Structure 1
Amino acid sequence: MALAVMAALAPVARACEALRVMSFNVRVPVASDGPNRWEARRELFVRTIATARPDLLGTQELHQQQADAILARLPAYAWFGLDRRGGHTDEHMGLFYRGERLRVLDSGNFWLSDTPDVPGSISWGHPYPRMVTWGLFEDRACGRRFYAFNTHLPYRDEDEAARVKGAQAILARLAALPPDVPVVLTGDLNAEPDSPTYAHLAGNLRDARAIASRVEGPEKTFHDFTGVPNRRIDYIFVRGFRVDRYATLTGHEGARYPSDHFPVMAELRWP
């Protein structure tokens, strides 16, 4: 009888709801984009996020003014991350999250170079610093934890060796994490599925699109503001998650698009 009463009083663990994760290259704010400049697409960009309602959003090419605009219009979100020079005047790999859903337990940045703890460091022959912003998150409702890593790899054709080294550096960091804590990697990898970079990552992580129970939208993601994508370079990789749904979001208003990349989104579940 006493055991029955104790069992009845014991707290019931809550199942975790699906975790909605998005990767979105913002496209830097430059006047030379003309009709596609940030000021012209800002509201559409924010509406794209508001409609999709990701719990976690990994961004690339994010500048401070863009982060400020997102937060001003979507106050349910917070974000963190340094820019690629180690400050806040250049491109960030900012991680946005819904504070009512997720709690940040730890976070940091490292550079994809021979000196990963040196902000702005460059190695392997490419011209700009490349980096990762990461966080350890806890689901407020169910208590489950996961790591999120977000990156943007070099873009030139001749940078494939550097992209591979960057992927290897990320995988080395992931290998040092507790194996029972799931991981999600978001990013613009500037590498297609037939590349050595993809092969390195897919050999250690799972491509969310490849294992999703349901897939929506085109495979390719970069469209250069045309709406016709010609390369798949934006990804979500996972370890320790199931993927219920994966989508490439192609929303636009007339000839206007929120970015030159389509965002990709995955609905993840803990096993």
Structure 2
Amino acid sequence: MLTRILLALTLGLFAAPAIAGPARAACDRPPLLAMTYNIRLDTPADGDDAWPHRRDFLIGQIATMRPELLGLQEVLPHQKRELETALPDYIVLGVGRDDGREQGEFAPLAIDRRQFRVTEHGTFWLSPTPDVPSLGWDGAFKRMVTWARISRRFGGSRLLVLNTHWDHVGTVARMHSGAMMLEWIARNRRKGEEVVVLGDFNAGADEPSVQQLTAGSAQGAALVDAKTASAMGSFGPRISFNGFDPFPREGKLIDHVFTSPTIAVRVHGVIAQHENGRAASDHFPVVALLDPQQGNGGRCRRSPK
């Protein structure tokens, strides 16, 4: 409990309106917290780290942090239902990757309904046949993107948000996945929309599949890594995959938050919490505090308390 309180106080400090400089929003609109979190599927093979033993801790993390934008990975259908029940303030979007309905893992987007309206949403698969559940290139599993267009209830910001889980085996699949996502954003992004991309990319920032996201595409789409763009740097460990070790000594940051260049990033962080020496998942959640700049028309106002 103490670690949760300290974490909430820390992020509250980072979110304070008194922060000045390049991270300051264009108007007096509160920033939004984006989180990507691979929650690890429910499998008895995990023993003491299986979902029933860590579910309440993980849900408590999300409830305490209250991210407005939440990208989840490795979510089985019953896990999705449990999250929806425990977190009623979120609209949870997405389909199962195996059949486009309820079969297989979800990579759902959870949007805080108190802050945003969802105006459109959908799914595409990272494969040569993106409109149907399908395996791409040298991938081990079907992979997909869950996306949503959202508008802020109190301020007018419009965002195009994507959440994904890239393949852990196929290097060719990851390269194609990055190119495909950039092309999709370039084709589908509307004037005045800013972009947030969340996910478990199964690749570090130094790998070509991820580097292309910030290099852009032939269509002109380009993203910014929230970690490098953060005005206040990054807190927490330098890795996100922990293998259920709450104190890992080595590894990579493979869970990322990317944004369009106009979004100011106040702070980026990796949340390395544990409860009685156990991690809530085999990944740490990764967060970024964001200030969207466009779409407000100078008419930003805070939501009522």
- Normalization by structure 2: what TM-score? 0.81
Residue type at the aligned position of 2:208: P
Aligned residues: 256
Structure 2: how far apart are the matches of 1:90 and 1:16?
A: 39
Output the CA distance in 2 between the equivalents of 1:223 and 1:127: 21
Q: Report sequence identity in percent.
A: 34
- Equivalent of residue 209 in structure 1, options 199, 208, 227: 227
Work out whether 1:226 is the aligned partner of 2:245.
yes
Q: Find the residue that maps to 2:266 and give its secondary structure.
A: strand
Please give the per-residue CA displacement for 1:245-267, whole angstroms capped at 9, x wherever unaligned.
11110111122111100000111
Task: Tell me, in whole angstroms, the C-alpha distance in 1 between the residues paired with 2:281 and 2:197.
Answer: 20
**Do residues 28 (structure 1) and 36 (structure 2) align?**
no
Q: Does 2:280 correspond to 1:237?
A: no
**In the alignment, structure 1 residue 49 sits paired with structure 2 residue 62:** yes
User: Structure 1: how far apart are the matches of 2:103 and 2:96?
Assistant: 7
2:270 aligned with 1:258:
no
2:120 aligned with 1:99:
no
CA distance in 1 between counterparts of 2:74 and 2:204 reads: 19
The corresponding residue for 2:181 is 170
8 Å contact from structure 2 (residues 116, 153) kept in 1: yes
Q: Which residue in the other structure is 1:268 paired with?
A: 290
How many angstroms does 1:123 deviate by? Answer: 2.4
SS at match of 1:243: strand
- Report the secondary structure of 2:118's partner residue: strand
Aligned counterparts of 1:139 and 1:178: Cα–Cα separation in 2: 16
2:126 is the counterpart of 1:115: no
Structure 1 or 2, whichever has the larger Rg, is 1
Matched, 1:188 2:206: no
Unaligned runs of 5+ in 1: 1-13
Preserved CA contact (<8 Å) 1:107 1:135: yes
For the aligned residue pairs, the C-alpha RMSD in angstroms reads 1.4
**SS of alignment partner, residue 265 of structure 1:** strand
Distance between the aligned counterparts of 2:78 and 2:29, measured in 1?
34
CA distance in 1, matches of 2:94, 2:282: 22
Give the residue type in structure 1 aligned to 2:165. H
Distance 1:74 1:241 in 2: 27
AA matched with 2:224? R
State the 1:83 CA deviation: 1.2
- Contact 1:167–1:197 at 8 Å: present in 2 too? yes
**2:278 partner amino acid:** R
| Structure 1 partner of 2:210 | 198
Which residue of 2 is the match for residue 87 of structure 1?
101
- Say if 1:16 and 1:144, in contact at 8 Å, map to a contact too: no
Mapping for residues 116-131 of structure 1, pairs under 5 Å: 116-118=130-132, 120-131=133-144
Tell me the SS of whatever aligns to 1:29.
Answer: coil
Partner of residue 84 from structure 2, selected from 71, 80, 84: 71
> Which residue identity is paired with 1:202?
T
User: Hey, what does 2:15 align to over in structure 1?
Assistant: none
**TM-score, with normalisation over the residues of structure 1?**
0.91
SS in 2 for 1:147: strand
| Deviation, structure 1 residue 139 | 0.5
Deviates more, 1:84-93 or 1:129-138: 84-93
1:138 paired residue among 128, 151, 161: 151
After the TM superposition, which of the residue ranges 74-83 and 138-147 deviates more from structure 2? 74-83
Which sections of structure 2, spanning at least 5 residues, go unmatched? 1-26, 216-221, 294-305
1:5-33, Cα deviation, whole Å (9 max, x unpaired): xxxxxxxxx74320111000010100000
Whole-angstrom CA distance in 1 between matches of 2:172 and 2:120: 31
CA distance in 1, matches of 2:94, 2:210: 25
1:37 match: 50
Name the amino acid aligned to 2:273. G
Distance (whole Å) between structure 2 residues aligned to residue 179 and residue 145 of structure 1:
10
CA distance in 2, matches of 1:190, 1:122: 17
- Offset of 1:115 from its aligned partner? 0.8
